[in-house]
Amino acid sequence: MRPSLEHLFHSGLMFLYRLTQSCVGLVVYAVSMRVYGPDLLGKYALAVTASQMLAPLVIGGLDPILVRELVRHPTQKLELMGSSFVLVLVATLAAVGAPLLYVTATSPGDRDLFLMVTGQSLSLIPLCLFILLSFFRAESRFVLATACGFAGVVVSAFARVTLVLWHQPLYWVSVANVLDPLVCGVMLLVVYQRYVGSVLSWRISWSSVRKLCELTWPAVLSSFMAMLFFRISHFMLKSMSTFDQLGYYAVAFQIFTLLNFLPTSALAVLYPRLVKLHQVDPRRYLETLRKIYVAVTLGGMIIFLGVWLWVTPAIGLVFGARSIPAGPVAVMMALANVFTFSGAVRYNVIYIEHKPVYHVYNTLLGFVVLVPLNLILIPKYGAVGAAAGVACACCAANVVSSWVFAPLRATGIDQTLAFLGLRRRLGSALS
């Protein structure tokens, strides 16, 4: 298969896998909105948010660094895998325990919320096996990786939707979330054992552990801050508004998350190739990167237009009449998507060209915009105000920040031109 067709095929597989994950979440929220209403759905969304806050400690922050190191140092894969497994396993303890402490401290009498958070937290435990996904990405074995991912999504989706349709308590739906990473992780383990070798051959090198800690702490911190950036509005809506407003915001946030997988799924496939191009062919790397900026940014603008025109009737059709107030919220979140699309490309550029700590700086700038806006807008406008704050903050964190920090200004030029459908030629790139 030609390289271009192969990348297209792999991008399609990754896209379908991540799209399926998001669609399942959308279906669960849609059925839950019809069965339980916005108030209880808002409580479920808070449980999901609380349990996912420390997920970057488990695998999210490590993944891009691990892929990069496996691509650059293939002879060290056994040490990298063993050391990564230890890091993720230790971090899982904190990621599971912290949400339970949060809900106990803030909602001590809410049994349903506590059980929902417990169920959601259980789904973090098998994520230590997801370093195998990083390995297969680095090896460009996307077919094997996505096949395992699809299996986990399908099993979990069937269980959760069935529980909702049977009108079971939502905390059982939370418990069923563990099936996705559990099934996927076990299958990844079986595939690795069959095609690569035994995981018992992994070696734990404390020098590798220290190196991975040094390399990943900015990535972990930035991933955590990015998670907090997108989820803090859930907590602020709970504190300053009502659970039904949180439910409307959660519906719009599901659409926002689904749309964000469009660029991230394709870029997840392209990332190892960009790493190699940056090493061996800088000119082609820059040319490819700028084409990606234009394609992804214009795609985000077209999607925003479509959401603006059709999302409200679509929400009513999918989520039911009680969800109609989520329409304007979804429009504002789609505007945020335009900026996160551009930021998704820059996310990879920072890992390849710069230090991951810039993700922290960018996100901090977003917080400077988001929190004050939420304090002003949420009490008056509820979920719509929270979404408007997110849109403004996404612009600051994903685009404006490129002009604030000097090492990112060349990237800022590429981002800004992409909003106009333009890109710099190679002559200017190398000057």
Helix (H), strand (E), coil (C) string for 26-43 = HHHHHHHHHHHHHHHHHH
Average pLDDT over residues 203-212: 85
Per-residue pLDDT tens digits for 264-285: 877 877 887 888 899 899 999 9
pLDDT at 429 over 70: no
What whole-number distance in Å separates Cα of residue 411 and Cα of residue 422? 13
Please tell me the predicted confidence (pLDDT) of residue 20: 81
Tallying the residues shown for the chain, one arrives at 431
pLDDT at 318 over 60: yes
Per-residue pLDDT tens digits for 236-262: 998 999 999 999 999 999 899 888 877
> Which residue from 218, 217, 228 is spatially nearest to 87, judged by alpha carbons?
217
Mean pLDDT of the chain: 87
Q: What share of the chain is helix, strand, coil (3-state, %, to 5)?
A: 90, 0, 10
Average pLDDT over residues 337-342: 96
CB 148 within 8 A of CB 161: no
Which token pair is 270? 């392209």
Task: Assign residue 167 a region (left: φ > 0; alpha: ψ between -120 and 50; beta: otherwise).
Answer: left
Domain boundaries, given as residue ranges, for the chain: 3-429
Please tell me the predicted confidence (pLDDT) of residue 150: 87
> Which residue from 21, 28, 99 is spatially nearest to 265, judged by alpha carbons?
21
Q: Helices 243-280 and 131-138 sit at what angle, rounded to 10 degrees?
A: 40
Average pLDDT over residues 61-83: 86
Average pLDDT over residues 231-240: 92
Please tell me the predicted confidence (pLDDT) of residue 72: 85
> What is the greatest pairwise CA distance in the chain?
64
pLDDT at 315 over 80: yes
Reported pTM: 0.78
Locus of tokens 């459908």: 421
